[in-house]
A and B are shown apart, each in its own frame.
Chain A
Amino acid sequence: MTLSRETRQLSGRGHGGSTLRGPFARNLLGCVAVLACLALILVGPYALNRALPPQRPVPTDQPMALGALPVTVVPPPGAQLDATQTRPDQDTVQFLVGGVEYWLRASEYAGSLPELADRARRTREAERGFVSMEPDRDVSTRQGTPGRRAGFVLATATGHSAVFVTDGIAVWVDVRGTSPDVAAHTAGIEASVATLTIGPR
Chain B
Amino acid sequence: VTVTAGGAGPAGAAVPSRLLDLGWPAAPPVLATEGEPTGEGPPWRLPALWTTAALMLGGLVLLAVGHRYVVAMPVVLALAAVLFALHGLLLWLGVHAVDLAARRPPWLRATALAWGGVVAVGVAGFANTWLDSAVVKVVSPELAERLEPLRAATVEESVKLLGVVMLVLLARRRLAGALDGLVYGALIGLGFQEAENVHYVVVQAAGHDGSALSAFGYFVTRGVVAGWATHVAWTAIAGAGLGWAVRHRDHSWPARIGVAAAAFGGAWTLHALWNSPLGVADGLRFGADGLLRLATLNLVGLAPLALVTWLVLRGETRRCARALAGLADPAVAVDAEIATLGSSPLRFRTYWAAVVRGGRPEARAVYRLHQAQASLARYLAERVYPDPDALYGLRAAVLARREQLGAAVRASRERTARQHIAREHMAGERPLPAPAPPHRPLTHSTDRARSVLSGNGLCGGHCGGHCGGGALGMVELTVPASAVAAGALAGVGGAAVLLAGRAVRRARLQGVAADVRYGVAALLGVVVLVLAAVFAGQLAAVLLVR
Contacts and interface: CB of A to CB of B under 8 A. Distances in A.
Interface of A: 1-2, 4-7, 10-11, 24, 27-28, 30-31, 34-35, 37-38, 41-42, 44-46, 48-49, 52-54, 56, 58, 64-69, 81, 83-84, 86-90, 93, 105, 107-109, 111, 119, 168, 201
A81 B126 contact: no
A147 B277 CA distance: 29
B381 interface: no
Contacts of A10: 45-46
Contacts of A46: 126-127, 130
Interface in B95-152: 123-124, 126-134, 136-138, 140-142, 144-145, 148
Contacts of B132: 87-89
Given A10-B45, A48-B130, A27 B169 contact: yes
B199 to A, nearest CB: 12
A54 B38 contact: no
B537 interface: no
B39 interface: yes
Interface of B: 38-41, 43-48, 51, 55, 123-124, 126-134, 136-138, 140-142, 144-145, 148, 155, 158-159, 162, 165-166, 168-169, 171-173, 203, 207-209, 277, 281, 285-286, 513
Contact of B141 (A27, A37, A66, A109): A66
Nearest to A66: B141
A197 to B, nearest CB: 15
B275 to A, nearest CB: 10
Contacts of A168: 513
* Closest CB pairs A-B (n = 10): A45-B130, A88-B145, A83-B137, A31-B51, A88-B141, A49-B130, A52-B137, A83-B136, A4-B40, A30-B169
A120 to B, nearest CB: 11
Contacts of A90: 203, 207
Contacts of B43: 4, 6-7
B500 to A, nearest CB: 20
Contacts of A69: 285
Contacts of B38: 2, 4
27 contacts: A1-B39, A2-B40, A4-B171, A6-B45, A6-B172, A7-B45, A24-B45, A27-B48, A27-B169, A28-B47, A31-B169, A41-B158, A44-B127, A45-B127, A45-B130, A45-B134, A46-B127, A48-B134, A52-B137, A64-B140, A65-B145, A67-B141, A81-B136, A87-B129, A88-B136, A88-B141, A90-B207
Given A10-B46, A30-B48, A49-B133, 7 more contacts: A4-B40, A6-B171, A35-B55, A42-B126, A86-B136, A108-B285, A201-B286
A84 B141 CA distance: 12
A95 to B, nearest CB: 11
Contacts of A24: 45-47
From A6, A11, A107, A108, name the one whose CB has the most chain B CB atoms within 10 angstroms.
A6
Nearest to A23: B46
A41 B123 contact: yes
B39 A2 contact: yes
Contacts of B140: 58, 64
Contacts of B131: 45, 48-49
Contacts of A37: 158, 162
Contact of A34 (B44, B155, B162, B172): B162
A5 B39 CA distance: 12
From B127, B141, B281, name the one whose CB has the most chain A CB atoms within 10 angstroms.
B141
A35 B51 CA distance: 8
Contacts of A64: 140-142
A11 B133 CA distance: 49
Contacts of B173: 5-6
Contacts of A4: 38, 40-41, 43, 171
Nearest to B158: A41
Contact of A93 (B46, B48, B124, B141): B141
Contacts of B51: 31, 34-35
Contacts of B40: 2, 4-5
Contacts of A66: 141
B141 A52 contact: no
Contacts of A35: 51, 55
A12 B44 CA distance: 15
Nearest to B38: A2
Contacts of A89: 128, 132, 145, 148
B197 to A, nearest CB: 15
B227 to A, nearest CB: 22
From B38, B39, B208, name the one whose CB has the most chain A CB atoms within 10 angstroms.
B208
A65 B127 contact: no
